[in-house]
A and B are shown apart, each in its own frame.
Chain A
Amino acid sequence: NAGVTQTPKFQVLKTGQSMTLQCAQDMNHEYMSWYRQDPGMGLRLIHYSVGAGITDQGEVPNGYNVSRSTTEDFPLRLLSAAPSQTSVYFCASSPTTRRGYNSPLHFGNGTRLTVT
């Protein structure tokens, strides 16, 4: 059982470059989300989705795009990378039934992104 798979694990970009962080889960979870983790700021929600075709903004959405064409995949796109986007990124998923909200998020292993 793969769980939540994030790729790549590390990435270095130059300012202005674009890239896509990939996230896939094989648990048939409706809810998927992206967080960034910065020292002293915890994990901040970037975007989330409650199902295919449905996405919504989190706390820090600027500079990032998402789409959800399938239940399994939830890619995060950086359109024009900036040094302020240097961070560790986590993808996470869970069910969305009422009981599912009490379930732990399943996290990917994270992507360390450096923008120079």
Chain B
Amino acid sequence: AQTVTQSQPEMSVQEAETVTLSCTYDTSESDYYLFWYKQPPSRQMILVIRQEAYKQQNATENRFSVNFQKAAKSFSLKISDSQLGDAAMYFCAYRSPNQGGKLIFGQGTELSVKP
């Protein structure tokens, strides 16, 4: 079974600085999808960025980018120019097209942003 591990329960960053959140996963599949979701205190789940495993190019969405290392099974999220609104729980997630599309989340990293 696939697993997703986020080893940093909490992270802190100064406003305008850069922070990297770590995520590793375990799978024997070659075709899958990876996601980062943000959950602010409102509990709403917001998609931050996504990556298809067959694409070697790292995904980028404005200030958010990923470092996807397929061989190492690593999928870290970099937030540049951090803003107060970035403070939230961040979840890494793995989705397999071979198992009905079930999506598995990591344990989450709580990010705080200091002014």
Contacts and interface: CB of A to CB of B under 8 A. Distances in A.
Interface of A: 31, 33, 35, 40-45, 48, 50, 54, 56, 58-59, 88, 90, 92, 94, 96, 98, 100-102, 104-105, 107, 109-110
Nearest to B4: A42
A110 B43 contact: yes
A31 B44 contact: no
Contact of B102 (A48, A88, A98): A48
A42 B44 contact: no
Contacts, number: 60
Nearest to B5: A42
Contacts of B47: 104-105
**Chain B's interface: helix, strand, loop or mixed, by majority?**
loop
A95 B6 CA distance: 27
A50 B9 contact: no
B103 A105 contact: yes
Contact of B108 (A33, A42, A102): A42
Given A88-B43, A102-B50, A104-B47, A50 B107 contact: no
A100 B9 CA distance: 30
A48 B95 CA distance: 13
A41 B44 CA distance: 17
Contacts of A45: 102-105
Nearest to A88: B43
B16 interface: no
Contacts of A42: 6, 91, 105-108
Contacts of A92: 45, 103
Contacts of B25: none
Given A40-B9, A105-B47, 10 more contacts: A33-B103, A42-B6, A43-B91, A43-B105, A44-B105, A50-B100, A94-B101, A96-B101, A100-B101, A109-B43
